[in-house]
Copies of this chain bind each other. A is one copy, B any other.
């Protein structure tokens, strides 16, 4: 099949007329997300990115919510290979840790997309594959099903909540991390200035409470969840 070059005449009527597709739309949406944040991903903005109007998108995508979920599943897809290879890890805790880390890394690569993961259930195909990997590892370790179900719930929630905390300032429309840092500093000062007779513990623990977002803290929380689960090994 040799590609027939576009005829030089008649090219003035329509610019290029390259066909749209769901994949192209999702890719464009993720491009906007990475550049401007989730709130900027509107149907008009995505259409503009593709050089067309918003109505054209509805032939490939049911509505904006579906587009958001497709974006999430596309990003989750970045972790599927990692997750499925982690199933063969001899140490089950290490396997679970690898899936969690891969999910966190993928979400962190895409601004505040984690907000989408907080609303709705992971029924898309890539999410299901990651869940299946989790289940295989935890069941393979011999944990009872009830505990496995709870643990998967908790791990997924922990990962997205951690990312969400780190991406918090995107939601406020801030551009730089300096602004975010200033905000947190100000918040800490506010807590320190609370009346110590009514909030003695809060005031005393300000620094400990506000030390979120770091890798060490994420790993430590992961350890605590997995250690808690390990108590239910037969």
Contact = CB atoms under 8 A, between A and B. Distances in A.
Given A119-B171, A132-B199, A150 B205 contact: no
Contacts of A171: 119
Report the interface size class on chain A.
Answer: 35 or more
Nearest to A151: B224
Most chain B Cβ neighbours within 10 Å, of A152, A161, A205 = A205
A105 interface: no
A208 interface: yes
A58 interface: no
B221 A227 contact: no
A202 B128 contact: yes
Contacts of A194: 128
Interface in A147-194: 148-150, 152-154, 157, 161, 164, 168, 171, 187, 190-191, 194
What 7 pairs between A and B have smallest CB-CB spacing? A228-B228, A135-B201, A149-B208, A145-B208, A132-B202, A132-B199, A149-B209
7 contacts: A128-B199, A129-B199, A132-B201, A146-B208, A150-B221, A154-B221, A225-B228
